[in-house]
């Protein structure tokens, strides 16, 4: 199939994603974002490279959805609502129109799910592997952006959703026989694989994060390793109770059969759930408002005096052989 030049590529594939007026239909040098009263801008960028961050044969719509969603997850962690995003796409010489159609469909689906417009981008050729870099922008309440360093001893630690599914999904992807070992039903296996491919940015919780979080971050490199970063930035330690870690039915089943999966869940990356420190006085209001938003939050431990992360387990000792996963 003939491959279009850059102008046609923008018009055909990317313009339909650029629904914000400030995107100027991608026909200008830059996009504009109107000011929002009492808001500061939150900006973040994350890039993924084929063969490093995703499997080259991953479905293109899944690659797009994950690349955009991990950035939206950072916005959620900072209590922001999305204002738009920009995408840099480095296409290898042998790129296919079909692939790009799938990729754009993934961005389009994410735009619909989270009302986020493409604001601009750059498409370049590369002699290397495909790369996607996404910059996401959001509005947060001025002075209410929770940082990693806002934690203090005594605060309770919450996580959203369930932990470890993506790490188990990745393990299943690398060794499909684990599904048998872990006694998973077909739907459970699919679900874990999906959790690795398509993270769920917790934007529904943004306003609650802005209102109550003393410190907050999203979990990309594993709960234990990321918690060490939050506790370190807050100059304190953390205590996690292993029995409180929320596991999905699929991960729970795997953990029953094979206790090492719990270590994987605690240290594996790609959760893209939020880790939130809440002052004890705010715990009730936080839990109630999170419930109103329909986002499950679970108290998994507390920030404590000292340093480092301790995982308290009543079961067999956990072999946390690595603190977290480094994508670099």
Binding residues: 29, 44, 46, 53, 74, 121-122, 148, 218, 220-221, 270, 325
Q: Does 31 bind a copy of itself (CB under 8 A)?
A: yes
- Contacts with a copy of itself, 110-129, as mask; x by CB under 8 A: ---------xxxxxxxxxxx
Interacting residue with a copy of itself among 11, 19, 26, 40 (CB under 8 A): 40
Interacting residue with a copy of itself among 131, 278, 297, 311 (CB under 8 A): 131
Q: Does 211 bind a copy of itself (CB under 8 A)?
A: no
Residue 271: closest CA among 143, 112, 162:
162
Find how far residue 318's CA is from the centre of its chain: 25
Q: How far is the CB of 142 from a copy of itself (least distance, A)?
A: 6
Cα(315)–Cα(259) distance, rounded to whole angstroms?
9
**Structure tokens belonging to residue 101:** 């159609």
Q: Enumerate residues 6+ apart whose C-beta is below 8 A from 46.
A: 67, 70, 71, 74, 133, 134
Taking CA atoms, 326 is separated from 49, 78, 157, 169, in Å, by 14, 22, 23, 17
Residues from 1 through 30 that contact a copy of itself (CB under 8 A): 5-6, 9, 22, 24, 27-30
Q: How far is the CB of 314 from a copy of itself (least distance, A)?
A: 32
Orientation of helix 186-197 relative to helix 60-77, angle to 10° = 70
Interacting residue with a copy of itself among 68, 116, 145, 318 (CB under 8 A): 145
Q: How far is the CB of 84 from a copy of itself (least distance, A)?
A: 8
| Segment holding 216, helix H or strand E | strand 213-218
- Contacts with a copy of itself, 68-87, as mask; x by CB under 8 A: ------xx-xx-x---x-xx
Q: How far is the CB of 71 from a copy of itself (least distance, A)?
A: 9
Q: Does 90 bind a copy of itself (CB under 8 A)?
A: yes
Backbone angles phi, psi at 306, to 5 degrees: 105, -150
Q: How far is the CB of 169 from a copy of itself (least distance, A)?
A: 21
Interacting residue with a copy of itself among 11, 26, 43, 283 (CB under 8 A): 43
- Contacts with a copy of itself, 219-258, as mask; x by CB under 8 A: --------------x-------------------------
Cα(24)–Cα(206) distance, rounded to whole angstroms?
28
**Structure tokens belonging to residue 48:** 């993924």
Binding residues for ATP are: 121-122, 148, 220
Beta strands (DSSP E) in 219-278 are 237-241, 274-278
Residue 10: closest CA among 118, 96, 141, 93:
118
- Cβ atoms of 85 and 71 within 8 Å: the answer is yes
Query: Interface residues with a copy of itself (CB under 8 A)?
Result: 5-6, 9, 22, 24, 27-36, 38-49, 51-53, 74-75, 77-78, 80, 84, 86-88, 90, 92, 119-129, 131, 133, 135, 137-138, 140, 142, 145, 147-149, 217-218, 233, 326-328
């Amino acid at each position: 199939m003939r491959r279009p030049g850059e102008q046609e590529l923008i018009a055909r594939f990317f313009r339909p994603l650029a629904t914000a007026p400030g995107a100027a239909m991608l026909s200008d040098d830059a996009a504009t974002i109107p000011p929002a009263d009492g808001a500061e801008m939150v900006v973040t960028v994350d890039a993924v490279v084929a063969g490093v961050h995703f499997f080259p044969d991953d479905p293109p719509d899944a690659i797009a959805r994950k690349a955009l969603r991990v950035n939206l997850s950072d916005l959620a962690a900072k209590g922001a609502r999305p204002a738009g995003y920009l995408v840099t796409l480095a296409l290898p010489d042998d790129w296919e129109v079909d692939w790009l159609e799938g990729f754009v469909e993934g961005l389009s689906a994410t735009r619909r799910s989270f009302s986020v417009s493409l604001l601009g981008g750059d498409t370049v050729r590369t002699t290397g592997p495909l790369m996607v870099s996404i910059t996401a922008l959001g509005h947060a309440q001025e002075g209410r952006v929770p940082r990693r360093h806002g934690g203090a001893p005594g605060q309770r630690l919450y996580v959203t959703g369930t932990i470890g599914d993506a790490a188990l999904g990745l393990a299943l992807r690398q060794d499909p026989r684990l599904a048998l070992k872990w006694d998973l039903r077909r739907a459970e296996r699919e679900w874990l694989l999906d959790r690795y491919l398509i993270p769920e940015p917790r934007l529904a919780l943004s306003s609650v994060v802005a209102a109550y979080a003393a410190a907050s971050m999203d979990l990309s490199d594993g709960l234990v390793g990321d918690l060490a970063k939050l506790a370190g930035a807050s100059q304190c330690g953390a205590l996690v109770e292993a029995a409180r870690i929320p596991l999905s039915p699929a991960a729970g089943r795997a953990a029953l059969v094979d206790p090492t999966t719990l270590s994987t869940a605690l240290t594996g990356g790609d959760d893209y759930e939020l880790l939130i420190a809440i002052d004890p006085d705010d715990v009730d209001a936080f839990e109630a408002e999170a419930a109103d938003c329909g986002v499950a939050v679970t108290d998994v431990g507390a920030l404590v005096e000292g340093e480092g992360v301790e995982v308290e387990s009543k079961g067999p000792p956990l072999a946390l052989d690595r603190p977290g996963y480094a994508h670099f």
